[in-house]
Chains A and B, each alone.
Chain A
Amino acid sequence: MKHLYIPFILLLITGCTSSPTLPTDYSSVKQQAPIYPDYRDITIPVNIAPLNVWVQDSLADEVVVQIGDMTVGTDSDGKTDIDAELWRSLLAKNAGGKLVMQVYAHRQQGWVRFSSDTIHVASEPIDSFLSYRLIEPGYELYRQLGLYQRDLTSFDEFAIYENNRTYDDEHNHCVNCHNYQAYDTERMLFHVRAMHGGTMLIDHGNVRKIAIRHDSILAAGVYPSWHPTLPLVAFSTNKTGQAFHMLHPEKIEVIDEASDLLIYDAEHNTVRNLLRTDSCMETFPCWTPDGTRLYYCSARVPEMSQDNSQHELLMHYDSLFYNIYSMPFDPATRTFGEPRLEVDAASQGKSASVPRISPDGRWLLYTLGDYGQFHIWHKSARLWAKETDTEGLGQELFSQHGSYHTWSSNGRWIVFSSRQDDGNFTRPYICYFDNEGKAHRPFMLPQRDPESNLFLLKSYNVPELSKHRVPVSAEELQQAVYNQQAITAEYESSR
Chain B
Amino acid sequence: MTLKNTRMPHSPAWGVRFLYFCLLWLWASWWMGDSLRICYENSFFVADASQMRFLLQQSLGWIAAIGRAFILPMRYPWLGGLILTTVLFTATMSIARVSHLPLRWRWLASLPAIAWMTWVAWLGLNLYYQSEPGTPFGWLVIAWGIVVILDLLLTPIYKRKRVENIPEKVDIRAFFFLPLFIIPFLTTHFRHPYQRPVTQMQVQLLNQDWEGMSQTAHDNAELSYRPLAAYYAIALVHTGHLTDQMFDIRLDYDTLYLKRYGGTPDIGTSYYNIDCNFHAGLFRPATRRAMEHLTMQGPTLYSLKYLAKLALAESDWPLASKYLHILRQQPFEGEFVSRYSAMLNNADAVRADTEMATVMRTIPTHDDFESMYQEPIFLGFNAVRMEFPSAEALMQCLMVNLYSKRMPDFLYRCQPLIGGTPPKTIAEGLVTQSIKNPSILQAFPSLNMDAQTYRVFISTLKNELKDRQAHARALFKDWKGYYPYYYFFGNLRATRPTPKESPTDNGAVN
- Interface residues of chain A, those whose CB is within 8 Å of chain B, are 135-145, 162, 165-169, 172, 174, 176, 193-194, 240-248, 251, 253-254, 314, 421-425, 452, 454-455, 457
Known pairs A246-B282, A247-B363; list 19 more (Cβ under 8 Å): A138-B294, A141-B296, A142-B506, A142-B508, A143-B295, A143-B296, A143-B298, A167-B261, A168-B262, A240-B509, A242-B509, A244-B288, A245-B368, A247-B284, A247-B367, A421-B318, A422-B316, A454-B322, A454-B325
Residues of chain B within 8 A (CB-CB) of A143 are 295-296, 298
**What's the least CB distance linking B364 to chain A, in Å?**
5
Q: Produce 1/0 per residue, B71-106, CB < 8 A to A.
A: 000000000000000000000000000000000000
Residues of chain A within 8 A (CB-CB) of B129 are none
Residues A243 and B292 in contact, CB atoms below 8 Å apart: no
A377 to B220, CA, bound (A): 45
Q: Produce 1/0 per residue, B315-327, CB < 8 A to A.
A: 0101101100110
Residues of chain A within 8 A (CB-CB) of B262 are 167-169
Interface stretch among B27-35, B54-62, B167-175, B182-190?
B54-62
Residues B282 and A138 in contact, CB atoms below 8 Å apart: no
Residues of chain B within 8 A (CB-CB) of A241 are 509
Residues B510 and A140 in contact, CB atoms below 8 Å apart: yes
Residues of chain B within 8 A (CB-CB) of A422 are 316, 318-319, 321-322
Task: Scan residues 396-418 of chain B and give those whose CB is less than 8 A from a CB of chain A.
Answer: none
- A-B contact count, CB below 8 Å? 124
A166-B59, A244-B285, A454-B326 given; A140·B51 CB < 8 A: no
A141 to B262, CA, bound (A): 15
A246 to B286, CA, bound (A): 10
Q: Which of A139, A162, A452, A455 contacts B510 (CB 8 A)?
A: A139
Residue from A138, A241, A457 with most neighbouring chain B CB atoms (10 Å): A457
Residues of chain B within 8 A (CB-CB) of A251 are 284, 287
Residues B508 and A246 in contact, CB atoms below 8 Å apart: no
Chain B contributes a number of interface residues (CB within 8 A of A) equal to: 46
Task: Scan residues 6-62 of chain B and give those whose CB is less than 8 A from a CB of chain A.
Answer: 48, 50-51, 54, 57-59, 61
B299 within 8 A of A: yes
Residues of chain A within 8 A (CB-CB) of B507 are 140-141
Residues of chain A within 8 A (CB-CB) of B48 are 455
Residues B295 and A138 in contact, CB atoms below 8 Å apart: yes
**What's the least CB distance linking A171 to chain B, in Å?**
11
Return the chain B residue nearest A241 by Cβ.
Answer: B509
Return the chain B residue nearest A455 by Cβ.
Answer: B51
Residues of chain A within 8 A (CB-CB) of B294 are 136, 138, 457
Residues A165 and B58 in contact, CB atoms below 8 Å apart: yes
Residues of chain B within 8 A (CB-CB) of A242 are 509
**What's the least CB distance linking B365 to chain A, in Å?**
8
The 6 closest A-B pairs by CB, nearest first: A138-B295, A247-B367, A243-B369, A140-B507, A244-B370, A422-B318
B381 within 8 A of A: yes
A457 to B298, CA, bound (A): 9
Q: Produce 1/0 per residue, B475-510, CB < 8 A to A.
A: 000000000000000000000000000010111111
**What's the least CB distance linking A470 to chain B, in Å?**
20
**What's the least CB distance linking A331 to chain B, in Å?**
33
Residues of chain A within 8 A (CB-CB) of B298 are 143
Residues B58 and A166 in contact, CB atoms below 8 Å apart: yes
- Interface residues of chain B, those whose CB is within 8 Å of chain A, are 48, 50-51, 54, 57-59, 61, 261-262, 282, 284-285, 287-288, 291-292, 294-296, 298-299, 316, 318-319, 321-322, 325-326, 363-371, 381, 503, 505-510
**What's the least CB distance linking A241 to chain B, in Å?**
7
Q: Which of A136, A165, A243, A452 contacts B295 (CB 8 A)?
A: A136
Q: List 22 A-B contacts (CB under 8 A).
A: A138-B292, A139-B291, A139-B292, A140-B510, A141-B295, A141-B296, A141-B506, A142-B295, A143-B296, A144-B57, A165-B57, A169-B505, A193-B508, A244-B371, A245-B370, A247-B363, A247-B364, A254-B509, A314-B369, A423-B319, A425-B322, A457-B294
A144 to B296, CA, bound (A): 8
A454 to B505, CA, bound (A): 31
Residues of chain A within 8 A (CB-CB) of B506 are 141-142, 172, 174, 194
Residues B59 and A165 in contact, CB atoms below 8 Å apart: yes
**What's the least CB distance linking B376 to chain A, in Å?**
14
Residues of chain A within 8 A (CB-CB) of B299 are 457
A82 to B322, CA, bound (A): 24
Residues B318 and A423 in contact, CB atoms below 8 Å apart: yes
Residues A246 and B367 in contact, CB atoms below 8 Å apart: yes
Residues of chain A within 8 A (CB-CB) of B296 are 138, 141, 143, 167
Residue from A141, A176, A423 with most neighbouring chain B CB atoms (10 Å): A141
**What's the least CB distance linking A48 to chain B, in Å?**
21
A423-B316, A454-B326 given; A243·B370 CB < 8 A: yes
A242 to B50, CA, bound (A): 31
A141 to B312, CA, bound (A): 24
A139-B288, A139-B292, A455-B48 given; A246·B510 CB < 8 A: no
Residues of chain B within 8 A (CB-CB) of A423 are 316, 318-319
**What's the least CB distance linking B218 to chain A, in Å?**
33
A144 to B54, CA, bound (A): 7
Residues B57 and A194 in contact, CB atoms below 8 Å apart: no
Residues B364 and A246 in contact, CB atoms below 8 Å apart: yes
A138-B294, A167-B261 given; A172·B505 CB < 8 A: yes
A160 to B168, CA, bound (A): 64
Residues of chain A within 8 A (CB-CB) of B509 are 140, 240-242, 254
Residues of chain B within 8 A (CB-CB) of A425 are 322
Residues of chain A within 8 A (CB-CB) of B510 are 135, 137-140, 142, 145, 174, 176
Return the chain B residue nearest A254 by Cβ.
Answer: B509
A423 to B287, CA, bound (A): 14
Residues A194 and B369 in contact, CB atoms below 8 Å apart: no
Residues of chain A within 8 A (CB-CB) of B363 are 247
A176 to B509, CA, bound (A): 11
**What's the least CB distance linking A218 to chain B, in Å?**
15
A166-B58, A241-B509 given; A138·B364 CB < 8 A: no
A314 to B372, CA, bound (A): 10
Residues A245 and B292 in contact, CB atoms below 8 Å apart: no
Residues of chain A within 8 A (CB-CB) of B295 are 136, 138, 141-143
**What's the least CB distance linking B368 to chain A, in Å?**
5
Residues B508 and A247 in contact, CB atoms below 8 Å apart: no
Return the chain B residue nearest A176 by Cβ.
Answer: B510
Residues B366 and A247 in contact, CB atoms below 8 Å apart: yes
Residues of chain A within 8 A (CB-CB) of B505 are 169, 172, 194
A80 to B296, CA, bound (A): 34
Residues A244 and B284 in contact, CB atoms below 8 Å apart: yes
